[in-house]
Protein backbone atom coordinates (compact mmCIF):
# COMPACT_ATOMS: atom_id res chain seq x y z
CA UNK A 1 0.00 0.00 0.00
CA UNK A 2 1.23 3.47 -0.85
CA UNK A 3 1.16 6.83 0.89
CA UNK A 4 -1.44 7.76 -1.73
CA UNK A 5 -3.74 5.06 -0.46
CA UNK A 6 -3.28 6.21 3.13
CA UNK A 7 -4.05 9.78 2.11
CA UNK A 8 -7.13 8.57 0.26
CA UNK A 9 -8.30 6.55 3.27
CA UNK A 10 -7.91 9.57 5.51
CA UNK A 11 -9.95 11.72 3.09
CA UNK A 12 -12.72 9.15 2.99
CA UNK A 13 -12.65 8.94 6.79
CA UNK A 14 -13.00 12.73 6.96
CA UNK A 15 -16.13 12.57 4.80
CA UNK A 16 -17.47 9.68 6.88
CA UNK A 17 -16.92 11.73 10.03
CA UNK A 18 -19.01 14.49 8.46
CA UNK A 19 -21.85 12.01 7.94
CA UNK A 20 -21.52 10.91 11.57
CA UNK A 21 -21.79 14.54 12.67
CA UNK A 22 -24.19 16.15 10.18
CA UNK A 23 -26.55 13.23 9.52
CA UNK A 24 -29.54 15.47 10.36
CA UNK A 25 -28.64 17.87 7.54
CA UNK A 26 -29.60 17.30 3.91
CA UNK A 27 -26.19 15.88 3.02
CA UNK A 28 -25.53 14.96 -0.59
CA UNK A 29 -22.68 13.44 -2.57
CA UNK A 30 -21.39 16.76 -3.99
CA UNK A 31 -21.02 18.14 -0.44
CA UNK A 32 -19.23 15.02 0.80
CA UNK A 33 -16.99 14.82 -2.27
CA UNK A 34 -15.90 18.40 -1.56
CA UNK A 35 -14.97 17.43 1.99
CA UNK A 36 -12.80 14.66 0.58
CA UNK A 37 -11.41 16.93 -2.16
CA UNK A 38 -12.30 14.50 -4.96
CA UNK A 39 -14.80 14.33 -7.81
CA UNK A 40 -18.26 12.91 -7.15
CA UNK A 41 -17.79 9.76 -9.18
CA UNK A 42 -14.38 9.16 -7.63
CA UNK A 43 -15.84 9.73 -4.18
CA UNK A 44 -18.60 7.13 -4.47
CA UNK A 45 -16.24 4.55 -5.95
CA UNK A 46 -13.42 5.16 -3.50
CA UNK A 47 -15.66 5.34 -0.44
CA UNK A 48 -17.14 1.98 -1.35
CA UNK A 49 -13.73 0.44 -1.93
CA UNK A 50 -12.52 1.83 1.42
CA UNK A 51 -15.45 1.04 3.71
CA UNK A 52 -17.35 -1.66 1.82
CA UNK A 53 -20.57 0.27 1.20
CA UNK A 54 -21.71 3.36 -0.68
CA UNK A 55 -21.78 6.75 1.06
CA UNK A 56 -25.55 6.78 0.72
CA UNK A 57 -25.88 3.45 2.50
CA UNK A 58 -23.52 4.53 5.25
CA UNK A 59 -25.56 7.70 5.80
CA UNK A 60 -28.78 5.67 5.91
CA UNK A 61 -27.33 3.39 8.57
CA UNK A 62 -26.07 6.37 10.57
CA UNK A 63 -29.54 7.93 10.47
CA UNK A 64 -31.22 4.66 11.38
CA UNK A 65 -28.80 4.19 14.28
CA UNK A 66 -29.65 7.69 15.57
CA UNK A 67 -33.34 6.88 15.17
CA UNK A 68 -32.85 3.64 17.12
CA UNK A 69 -31.21 5.66 19.88
CA UNK A 70 -33.93 8.32 20.00
CA UNK A 71 -36.72 5.75 19.92
CA UNK A 72 -35.30 4.15 23.04
CA UNK A 73 -34.19 7.25 24.94
CA UNK A 74 -36.89 9.85 24.20
CA UNK A 75 -40.66 10.22 24.02
CA UNK A 76 -40.60 11.83 20.60
CA UNK A 77 -43.07 10.50 18.06
CA UNK A 78 -41.88 8.27 15.22
CA UNK A 79 -42.55 11.13 12.79
CA UNK A 80 -40.48 13.55 14.86
CA UNK A 81 -37.65 11.01 15.14
CA UNK A 82 -37.77 10.51 11.36
CA UNK A 83 -37.31 14.24 10.76
CA UNK A 84 -34.77 14.63 13.62
CA UNK A 85 -32.34 12.19 12.01
CA UNK A 86 -32.47 13.66 8.52
CA UNK A 87 -35.15 11.68 6.67
CA UNK A 88 -37.65 13.89 4.89
CA UNK A 89 -40.32 11.27 4.21
CA UNK A 90 -41.93 9.05 6.82
CA UNK A 91 -42.54 6.40 4.17
CA UNK A 92 -38.86 6.21 3.23
CA UNK A 93 -37.83 6.24 6.89
CA UNK A 94 -40.16 3.38 7.83
CA UNK A 95 -39.11 1.30 4.84
CA UNK A 96 -35.37 1.81 5.34
CA UNK A 97 -35.64 1.31 9.11
CA UNK A 98 -37.54 -1.97 8.77
CA UNK A 99 -35.19 -3.17 6.04
CA UNK A 100 -32.07 -2.41 8.08
CA UNK A 101 -33.25 -3.29 11.60
CA UNK A 102 -35.66 -6.08 10.74
CA UNK A 103 -38.65 -4.57 12.51
CA UNK A 104 -40.61 -1.31 12.27
CA UNK A 105 -39.74 1.72 14.46
CA UNK A 106 -42.78 1.35 16.73
CA UNK A 107 -41.95 -2.29 17.49
CA UNK A 108 -38.26 -1.56 18.04
CA UNK A 109 -39.18 1.16 20.55
CA UNK A 110 -40.70 -1.43 22.88
CA UNK A 111 -37.23 -2.82 23.64
CA UNK A 112 -36.93 -0.11 26.29
CA UNK A 113 -34.29 2.41 27.43
CA UNK A 114 -30.53 2.26 26.82
CA UNK A 115 -27.67 2.67 29.31
CA UNK A 116 -25.38 5.74 29.12
CA UNK A 117 -22.17 5.00 27.19
CA UNK A 118 -19.83 7.52 25.46
CA UNK A 119 -21.68 8.56 22.34
CA UNK A 120 -18.94 7.58 19.91
CA UNK A 121 -19.20 3.97 21.07
CA UNK A 122 -22.97 4.06 20.99
CA UNK A 123 -22.72 5.33 17.44
CA UNK A 124 -20.27 2.69 16.33
CA UNK A 125 -21.77 -0.32 18.08
CA UNK A 126 -25.49 0.34 17.85
CA UNK A 127 -25.25 0.96 14.14
CA UNK A 128 -27.17 -1.77 12.35
CA UNK A 129 -25.08 -4.06 10.18
CA UNK A 130 -24.12 -3.36 6.60
CA UNK A 131 -25.41 -5.93 4.16
Interface ranges with another protein (CB under 8 A): 1, 5-7, 9-10, 12-14, 16-18, 20-21, 50-51, 116, 118-120
Closest approach of Cβ 77 to another protein, in Å?
22
* CB of residue 61 to another protein, shortest distance in Å: 16
Distances (CA, A) of 45 to 11, 35, 56, 64, 92: 13, 15, 12, 23, 24
Least distance (Å) between residue 109 CB and another protein:
19
DSSP conformation class of 128: P
Q: In Å, how far from its chain's centre is CA 39?
A: 21
If the CB atoms of residues 73 and 94 are measured against another protein, the closer one turns out to be 73
**What is the SS3 string spanning 12-29?**
HHHHHHHHHHHCCCCCCH
Supply the minimum distance, in Å, between the C-beta of residue 46 and another protein: 12
Which CB, 16 or 109, lies closer to another protein? 16
Based on CB atoms, which residue is closest to another protein, 1 or 129? Answer: 1
* Euclidean distance between CA atoms 52 and 58, whole angstroms: 9
Contacts of 7 (CB under 8 A, 6+ apart): none
Measured from the CB atom, the residue of 24 and 90 that comes closer to another protein is: 24
Amino acid sequence: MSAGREDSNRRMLRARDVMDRDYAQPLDVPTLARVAHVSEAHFIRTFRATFGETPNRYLQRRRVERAMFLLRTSDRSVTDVCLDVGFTSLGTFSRVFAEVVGEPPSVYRRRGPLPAVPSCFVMAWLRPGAN
